[in-house]
C-alpha cells in the first residue's frame, strides 16, 4: 500500500511540474528581441499591418520586434520557418487567409497547419477593393461583367499569390458573375500593384492600403468593395454584393501564430500584449485611415476563425477546380 502511494505521489509531482511549466512563466518573457515573420515582401497590406503592430508591441514588451519578410510560395516558406522555430514565444508570424486555405489546395505541405501552430489572436480585418486600370471601359461592377462577357479571357486579374485571398476573391467573382477572366499571380502586393499600374493586367482584388493611395491620386479606379457592408473609410464605394452579385463577400484578415508547443503562459502573455496594442486608440486610428479594422480576441476564438475560413473557401476551391501542386 505504501509503495502504491509513493508511485501516485511521483505521478502527481510530475504532472504538476508539467502543468506549471506550460501554464506559468518560469523565466522573464521576453528576454531578447522578437522576430515577427511576414510571408510577403515589403510594401503590401501584410507588411503594413505587421510594422504597425511591431513598433507598438515593442513598446509594450520593452523589446525590439524585428519584422522579417520571407516571401514566396504563397506564404509556405514563412509558415514552415515559423513552424520550425523554437517554441519560446520569441518567434511568431502574421498569418492570413492563405494559412486557412493552403491545406485545402496543397497536398504536401511541409507542416501541419493545425498541429504545428499555436493560435495567438486575430489581429485585423478589412475588405478587399476591386480596382481596375483607367484604360478599362467600366465604372461599375455591372459594366465590368458586361465587358468580361463580351471579351472572354481578355481581361486579366492580378493576385498577390496563387491561392491567396486576392486570388480567391477573383475566383469567387468569376463563379458568381459567370465570366471568363484570367488569373495572373505575383509575388506579393507590391509586384501585383506595379503590374496593374503598368497595364500588364486590368484588375485586382487588392487590400486597401496599397490600393487607396493609387485611387486617391487617380492612377487606379475603384469599382467596389468585397465586404458585405460599405466601409466608413470609403462610404461612396458600393459593395460587389449590392452591385449585381448578391451575397458576394471576401473579407481579408490577419492574425498572429506562434510555433506549436509554445508554453500556454507565453501564448497568453503575447496575446495580452497584442490586445493592448490592438485596443489602443493610436493603433485603431492608424489602421482605420487605411481601411483596416483592429480586431483581437482569445487564442481559441482565432483558432475557430481559421477553421471556419477553411470551410468557407473549400467550396470555392472545389468549384473553381483549383489545384496548385
- Given a cut of 50, is residue 266 above it in pLDDT? yes
Strand partners, 251: 127
Do the Cβ atoms of 82 and 91 come closer than 8 Å? yes
Q: What pLDDT is recorded for position 253?
A: 92
Q: For the segment 145-157, what is each residue's pLDDT rounded down to a tens digit?
A: 999 999 999 999 9
Cis peptide before 30 (omega within 30 of 0): yes
- Given a cut of 90, is residue 263 above it in pLDDT? yes
Strands (E), 196-322: 203-207, 221-225, 251-259, 293-294
Q: For the segment 199-239, what is each residue's pLDDT rounded down to a tens digit?
A: 999 999 998 877 888 998 999 999 999 998 988 778 899 99
- Given a cut of 80, is residue 21 above it in pLDDT? no
Q: What pLDDT is recorded for position 5?
A: 44
Query: Which domains are seen in the chain, by residue range?
Result: 31-125+252-319 (3.40.190.150), 127-243 (3.40.190.10)
- Given a cut of 90, is residue 324 above it in pLDDT? no
Q: What pLDDT is recorded for position 231?
A: 85
Do the Cβ atoms of 234 and 225 come closer than 8 Å? yes
Q: For the segment 126-136, what is each residue's pLDDT rounded down to a tens digit?
A: 889 999 999 99
Q: Mapping DSSP to helix (H, G, I), strand (E, B) and coil, where does residue 55 land?
A: helix
- The whole-angstrom separation of Cα 252 and Cα 164 is 10
Do the Cβ atoms of 207 and 251 come closer than 8 Å? no
2 pLDDT band, cuts 50/70/90, is very low
Which position has the higher pLDDT, 56 or 322? 56
Q: What pLDDT is recorded for position 7?
A: 41
Lowest-confidence range among 16-30, 84-98, 290-304? 16-30
Name residues whose C-beta falls within 8 Å of residue 321's C-beta, 6 or more positions apart in sequence: none
Average confidence score pLDDT of the chain:
89
Question: CA-based angle 131:134:224, to the nearest 5?
Answer: 25
Helix, strand and coil content of the chain, in percent to the nearest 5, comes to 45, 20, 35
- Given a cut of 80, is residue 27 above it in pLDDT? no
Model confidence, pTM: 0.77
CA dist 38 to 47, 69, 78, 202, 291, Å? Answer: 7, 5, 7, 27, 20
Which position has the higher pLDDT, 41 or 43? 41
Q: What pLDDT is recorded for position 322?
A: 82
Q: What pLDDT is recorded for position 209?
A: 73
Name residues whose C-beta falls within 8 Å of residue 310's C-beta, 6 or more positions apart in sequence: 100, 101, 103, 104
- Given a cut of 80, is residue 99 above it in pLDDT? yes
Amino acid at each position: 500500500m505504501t509503495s502504491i502511494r509513493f508511485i501516485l505521489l511521483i505521478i502527481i509531482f510530475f504532472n504538476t511540474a508539467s502543468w506549471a511549466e506550460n501554464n506559468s512563466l518560469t523565466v522573464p518573457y521576453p528576454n531578447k528581441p522578437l522576430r515577427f515573420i511576414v510571408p510577403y515582401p515589403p510594401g503590401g497590406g501584410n507588411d503594413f499591418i505587421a510594422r504597425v503592430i511591431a513598433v507598438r508591441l515593442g513598446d509594450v514588451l520593452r523589446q525590439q520586434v524585428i519584422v522579417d519578410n520571407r516571401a514566396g510560395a504563397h506564404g509556405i516558406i514563412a509558415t514552415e520557418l515559423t513552424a520550425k522555430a523554437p517554441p519560446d514565444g520569441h518567434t511568431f508570424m502574421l498569418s492570413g487567409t492563405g494559412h486557412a486555405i493552403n491545406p485545402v489546395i496543397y497536398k504536401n505541405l511541409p507542416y501541419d497547419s493545425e498541429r504545428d501552430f499555436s493560435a495567438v489572436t486575430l489581429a485585423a480585418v478589412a475588405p478587399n477593393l476591386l480596382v481596375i486600370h483607367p484604360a478599362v471601359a467600366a465604372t461599375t461592377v455591372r459594366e465590368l461583367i458586361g465587358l468580361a462577357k463580351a471579351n472572354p479571357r481578355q481581361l486579366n486579374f492580378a493576385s498577390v499569390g496563387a491561392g491567396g485571398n486576392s486570388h480567391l476573391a477573383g475566383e469567387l467573382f468569376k463563379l458568381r458573375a459567370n465570366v471568363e477572366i484570367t488569373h495572373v499571380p505575383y509575388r506579393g502586393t507590391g509586384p501585383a500593384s506595379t503590374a496593374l499600374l503598368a497595364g500588364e493586367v486590368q484588375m485586382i482584388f487588392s487590400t486597401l492600403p496599397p490600393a487607396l493611395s493609387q485611387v486617391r491620386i487617380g492612377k487606379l479606379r475603384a469599382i467596389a468593395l468585397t465586404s458585405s457592408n460599405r466601409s466608413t473609410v470609403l462610404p461612396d464605394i458600393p459593395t460587389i454584393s449590392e452591385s449585381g452579385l448578391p451575397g458576394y463577400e471576401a473579407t481579408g484578415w490577419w492574425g498572429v501564430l506562434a510555433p506549436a508547443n509554445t508554453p500556454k503562459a507565453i501564448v497568453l502573455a503575447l496575446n495580452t500584449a497584442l490586445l493592448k496594442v490592438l485596443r489602443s486608440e493610436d493603433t485603431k486610428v492608424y489602421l482605420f485611415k487605411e481601411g483596416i479594422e483592429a480586431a483581437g480576441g482569445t487564442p481559441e476564438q482565432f483558432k475557430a476563425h481559421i477553421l471556419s475560413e477553411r470551410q468557407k473557401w473549400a467550396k470555392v476551391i472545389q468549384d473553381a477546380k483549383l489545384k496548385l501542386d
